[in-house]
Amino acid sequence: MPIAFRNEIVWKRTSAHSDPQRYGGNIDVILFYTKGATWTWNELYTAHDAEYIARFSHRDPDGRLWTDDNLTAKGLSGGGYDYEYKGYRSLWRCPEETMRRLDAEGRLHFTRTGGIRQKRYLEDTKGTALQSLWSDIPPINSQAAERLGYPTQKPLALLERIIQASSNPGDVVLDPFCGCGTAVAAAQKLGRRWIGIDITHLSIALQKYRMEEMFPGIQFKVIGEPEDLGAAQQLAKDDRYQFQWWALSLIRARPLGGQEGSKTGKKGSDKGIDGVITFIDEANGKPKRMLIQVKSGHVKAGDIRDLVGTVQREAAAMGVFLTLDAPSRDMQTEATVAGFYHSPGWNLDYPKLQILTIAELLTGRAAVKMPPEQGTFKQAQRVQLPQGDQLGLDGL
């Protein structure tokens, strides 16, 4: 397919490096291009700045702000319309028919010095047409409400703007490197259909959680995840870190070790801990941890004892042992001996050490027993679709 390059857009970020040998790198360049001579383009507008708004210094009784504009054509090339209107004779920019209509609509301002000017209301202005320098969207910083902890996360508003300008409701948005899912979230919010692709099970898990939090009740299909025990065994054989991340996603646990978005992983500083679930069950709001260990084979009772010791050493509330193989009777005994965690907020007891198999999780025969979780992945803001319906990909 031929590519017709169109333009470059600069998104100005507020962060900058401190290298004294060159200019600060505080911008990103967004390439805008099409695959042919025709494309979708919706002109967007940004809000007027304070200086522009200050020009609308008059207010009608109904509260609408307005400024006045010249209606005479004197001094303009191209002529005008010479007539008298309500005792005022001049060379006007509009014909008498339009003048009467403006008067009927209450859009004429009769000045004290004997003139007629047109009222222009602030609410009628669309804003400033969007230009190629975008400096009104702040980056994701450590305090941003939408921050999910993903290293390459972009602001939702940035992707919304791109999608609004270059597509229409019902169109399909494809993000082949979708990371934490900002583009697909923006597409869903704006009534577009979408396809997201990523190479890591960690990214896919984060996207699932994000979409479920933002759009309660949403339905979507994930292609490429293990759906049965055989596929899970094959994933563990092919890549143990991908298996580990996928297994953790079955119980909505945050992985530890490696970097989110990376294709490879490594053990974290806490040996024997592959993931964590955070929950709050006391009025003081102090978070507590459930530590997760994932094993793809060769499990034994000693693994359970080791995890119990790790939970105690790390002052965690509970532990979960995720295993691809079925646990032995000795392993189950060791888990039982670990006792219970008492939740003060819910006044309930939960097993201190739980053993869950991949087969049980895939078939829905088991789930983590724990107080309601908080902060496994930072929750995204919920969004209500205006039409109230979920979007499908039928007809693609």
Once rounded to an integer, what is the mean pLDDT over residues 260-283? Answer: 68
Poorest-pLDDT segment among 124-133, 139-148, 272-281, 340-349: 139-148
pLDDT at 389: 43
Phi (first) and psi of residue 62, to 5 degrees: -85, 5
Do 371 and 286 meet the contact criterion of CB atoms below 8 Å apart? no
How many other C-beta atoms lie within 10 A of the C-beta of residue 305? 17
Helix axes 156-166, 182-189, angle to 10 degrees: 60
pLDDT at 383: 62
pLDDT at 385: 52
Once rounded to an integer, what is the mean pLDDT over residues 234-255? Answer: 91
Poorest-pLDDT segment among 4-13, 79-88, 192-201, 335-344: 4-13
Cα gap 367→380, rounded to integer Å = 23
Q: Does the pLDDT of residue 303 top 90, yes or no? A: yes
Highest mean pLDDT among 113-117, 129-133, 367-371: 367-371
pLDDT at 17: 57
- Greater confidence (184 vs 395) lies with 184
Poorest-pLDDT segment among 101-110, 227-236, 268-277, 380-389: 380-389
Once rounded to an integer, what is the mean pLDDT over residues 141-149? Answer: 76
Cα gap 201→197, rounded to integer Å = 11
Instruction: Provide the Cα torsion 203, 270, 376, 146; round to 10°.
Output: -70
Q: Does the pLDDT of residue 24 top 60, yes or no? A: yes
- Greater confidence (256 vs 385) lies with 256
Confidence band of 10 (pLDDT split at 50, 70, 90): confident
Once rounded to an integer, what is the mean pLDDT over residues 306-323? Answer: 96
Cα gap 164→161, rounded to integer Å = 5
**pTM exceeding the 0.75 threshold for the entire prediction:** no
Cα gap 172→240, rounded to integer Å = 34
Per-chain mean pLDDT for the chain: 85
- Greater confidence (133 vs 259) lies with 133
Once rounded to an integer, what is the mean pLDDT over residues 136-163? Answer: 84
Cα gap 253→274, rounded to integer Å = 9
Do 273 and 310 meet the contact criterion of CB atoms below 8 Å apart? yes
pLDDT at 277: 93
pLDDT at 19: 66
pLDDT at 110: 93
Question: What are 353-370's pLDDT values in tens digits?
Answer: 999 999 999 999 999 999
C-alpha to C-alpha distances, 54 to 113, 126, 127, 200, 296, nearest whole angstrom: 23, 16, 14, 51, 66
Confidence band of 205 (pLDDT split at 50, 70, 90): confident
